[in-house]
Amino acid sequence: MAEADAAVAAPAPVQFRELATVSGQRIGVAQLNAEKSLNALTLPMIRLLDPQLQRWAADPGIACVVLHGAGEKAFCAGGDVRSLYKAITDHQGPPPNPDNLAFFSEEYRLDYRIHTYAKPLLVWGSGIVMGGGLGLMAGASHRVVTETSRVAMPEITIGLFPDVGGSYFLSRIADRVGLFLALTGVSINAHDLLHVKLADHFLRAADRDAVFERLAGCGDWSADAEHNHRLLTRLLDGLGEAAAGLLPESNLQRHAATIAQLVSGRTLAAVREAITAYSGDDAWLRRAAATLAAGSPTTAALCWELLDRAATMSLADVFRMELVVALQCCAHPDFPEGVRALLIDKDNAPRWTPATPDAVTPAWVAEHLTAPAWPGTAHPLADL
């Protein structure tokens, strides 16, 4: 009985509340509620969040939606790759692995919903925002970052690829900076995010609750979504003055000329050689070079191919492509091996297959882009 009572009392992995406003409209607030795991995104979280966003979208009394993470350390440190690893090891075989199919297809559907959400949706991207966390944030209409924001797409270290729409938004960053971010998994800050237009507003981390209260105290919300979009922009712009002196220096701006030179090659081999050969004094660039050098050669090849393809694709087509590649990564060696080395055995010594960039053939890359036999008659994201 005690165990059953404890299970009943366990807090939901996503918590929802609604804030009444003086105008009579309401603000929907969703909190990722897994502070100990840095709010890593799980399938149960996705299955709570997506239908609630749909309900709020259909509710004429909801003027604005807010999404944030529990605690101060992270908005969301990425997807729950431990569960994906367990699904791979428990159910080995050709794609699609049913558990992995459920996770990736429902995650991408949620990300697409955020990108296309009609009402203003504020994501508070403070602290760690990685992988799947950036997938949740990138498509929001109002993306807030703070002096503590630390953002990366570090899939090169685990043999996956920058998914959750990463192929789409990274391919659209000017001067091939998105390619640099994908290949190196390097961490960027709030100023960097504003610079590449992956964030919209810079506020103080400590002001989060006060900002939410200020939104609730506004008397100008209405039932008109476009009006509310403009209103939220004005409110956040007005609140940003207190944070002005905290904006960190942008590494992407400071090293713009160097990065442009490093990614200027016409082939992946040339770009890889240029980045990994960096021998300057800057620690941030040295970490970027070292991460690519130690990362999965297959991931690097997928980054190169997917960003090139995605540059001319619609968002929906990108998510459909990424689902194919994610499921193929689950059925190929590097993703489970990368998770094993980094998170399971923690030996930090992944044995990549193929082990070297030269051994990654066009046929190997093509395998990762080949759609599996779907359990139904159509692609699971065909309706996006």
Based on the residue annotation, tell me whether 79 is a catalytic residue of this protein. Answer: yes
Q: How many CA atoms lie within 13 A of 79 on its CB side?
A: 29
Instruction: Please pick, among 28, 127, 132, 135, the residue that the annotation labels catalytic.
Output: 132
**Helix (H) or strand (E) run with residue 57 in it:** helix 43-58
155 classed as catalytic: yes
Phi, psi (degrees; rounded to nearest 5) at 76: -165, 120
CA–CA separation, 109 and 86 (whole Å)? 22
Q: In this structure, are residues 223 and 139 in contact, taking their beta carbons and an 8 Å threshold? A: no
Give the separation between CA 338 and CA 348, rounded to whole angstroms. Answer: 8
The one catalytic residue in 163, 207, 305, 322 is 163
As given in the structure block, the two tokens for residue 219 are: 């008397």
Query: Which is the catalytic residue, given 28, 69, 78, 79?
Result: 79
Question: Is residue 273 among the annotated active site residues?
Answer: no
Strand partners, 17: 29
Place of tokens 């391919």: 171
Coil/strand/helix, residue 28: strand
The catalytically annotated residue of 80, 107, 111, 155 is 155
Q: Are 380 and 374 in contact (CB under 8 A)?
A: yes
- Known catalytic residues are 79, 132, 155, 163
